[in-house]
Amino acid sequence: GIAGPVLAIESSCDETACAILAPDGTCLAQRLISQDGHADFGGVVPEIAARAHLALLPGLVSQTLKDAAMAPEDIGFIAASTGPGLIGGLIVGTGFAKGLALALNKPFVAVNHVEAHALTARLPGLVPGGAPFPYLLLLVSGGHCQCIAVEGVGQYRKLGGTIDDAAGEAFDKVAKMLGLSWPGGPALEKLARDGNPDAIALPRPLAGRAGCDFSFSGLKTAVSQKLAPYGQTALPYRFAADLAASFQQAVADVVANRIQQAFDMMPEATLLVCAGGVAANTVLRARLEEVAASRGLRFAAPPLKLCTDNAVMVGWAALETCQEAARRGLPPPDDSTTRPRPRW
Ligand code: KG4
Ligand code: ZN
């Protein structure tokens, strides 16, 4: 079989990251660079991101090896996110990882980025009481917005997803309308603390509907209509804060309703795991905790550093994949010919 430690690379969006994990999942070293250079454009520019990954990866990987006091030969196998994500970054990360594996004569394991988010909660010691299968995963970030039944390694059932924007995208777009800088989620949450969440009536898209799909574009439009009377004039602070708080409340209401539905679709779940950058939102977190508690279920969110894109989750997913293959008596994965899959 494949023996650790694993060296893992993440490059699917605008985080360039490398981590080295022992076979039991202990993180021996990790480095992450959140690329700057995108904020002026109000979003991630794929071409800039790919070039930055290319410039950053060699040094980052050397540094991570140095931090772990390891030589490249000490690595058992190499892993990388090979999709879904931005094709340029995926090509850079996958090509780098495969090249390293080839040069060192070590196996290469391709990791699905969403699967890595899904399995993060199972990192030993992360969630009190652990995260045994099956559990319900809510993945909410700038790029993802879905409810997934996590039934085992390699066994996932998508219960619902967004039919327009991702939750983080909605936060970012509304924040932009309010004149906040990108990424707007954290700034909007801060502004909302000074506002009244009941001050401004906003819709709750899809709430009460069957299934657990999400929609945020109607909410975004409603916010822009509330802003229309102000035209180009500066927003009164009080009004901006009320609008931010009312928007955040609407998102929390919608997500709470969708999660109730997801639990109905997955009665065997005893745990709700929330991951992705939007999981940092304290109002949303509190609501999800409430929903889980009202059903007598556990709620867990990995620490923020592991909720957002990182390489530790990629290494862990690779280790779990290898262990699962061994458990089933299957040969270890050999993904040396796998190509990046932006829409995997
Ligand atoms: O997981 P992430 O770092 O990257 C991906 O999109 O994959 O998530 C970033 C997203 C951004 O849209 C950001 O605005 C949002 O998460 N976000 C938040 C908060 N912190 C980050 N949204 C709402 N409230 C927050 N506190
Ligand atoms: Zn992600």
Residue 143: per-residue pLDDT? 85
Cβ contacts of 153 within 8 Å, gap of 6 or more? 119, 320, 321, 323, 324
CA distance 55 to 34: 13
Ligand 1 pocket check for 309: Cβ under 6 Å: yes
- Alpha carbon distance 344, 339 (integer Å): 11
Atom number in ligand 1 closest to CA 143: 6
Query: Measured in angstroms, how far is the CA atom of residue 142 from the centroid of ligand 2?
Result: 8
CA of residue 231 to ligand 2 center, whole Å: 35
Whole-number Å distance between alpha carbons of 60 and 328:
35
pLDDT of residue 76: 96
Q: What is the pLDDT of residue 182?
A: 83
Using the structure block, give the residue that is written with the tokens 């796998």: 338
CA distance 244 to 224: 12
* Mean pLDDT, contiguous 10-residue spans, the chain (344 residues): 89 96 97 89 89 97 98 97 97 98 96 96 93 97 93 97 95 95 92 98 94 96 96 93 98 97 96 93 96 96 91 98 95 93 94
3-state secondary structure of 268: coil
Structural domains of the chain sorted by starting position, each given as residue range(s) with its CATH number in brackets? 6-119+306-327 (3.30.420.40), 132-301 (3.30.420.40)
Write the ipTM: 0.98
Q: How far is the CA of 45 from the centre of ligand 1 (A)?
A: 16
Pocket test for ligand 1, best of 171, 172, 177, 188 (most atoms within 8 A of CB): 171
**Residue 253 CA, ligand 2 centroid: distance in Å:** 23
Tell me what pLDDT residue 189 has: 97
Going along 11-88, which residue ranges are E strands?
15-21, 27-34, 77-83
pLDDT at 42: 80
pLDDT score at 71: 97
Per-residue pLDDT, 1: 67
Task: Tell me the best of 181, 188, 254, 278 to mutate to test the pocket of ligand 1, counting ligand atoms within 8 Å of each CB and taking the most.
Answer: 278
pTM above 0.90, yes or no: yes
Q: What is the pLDDT of residue 68?
A: 98
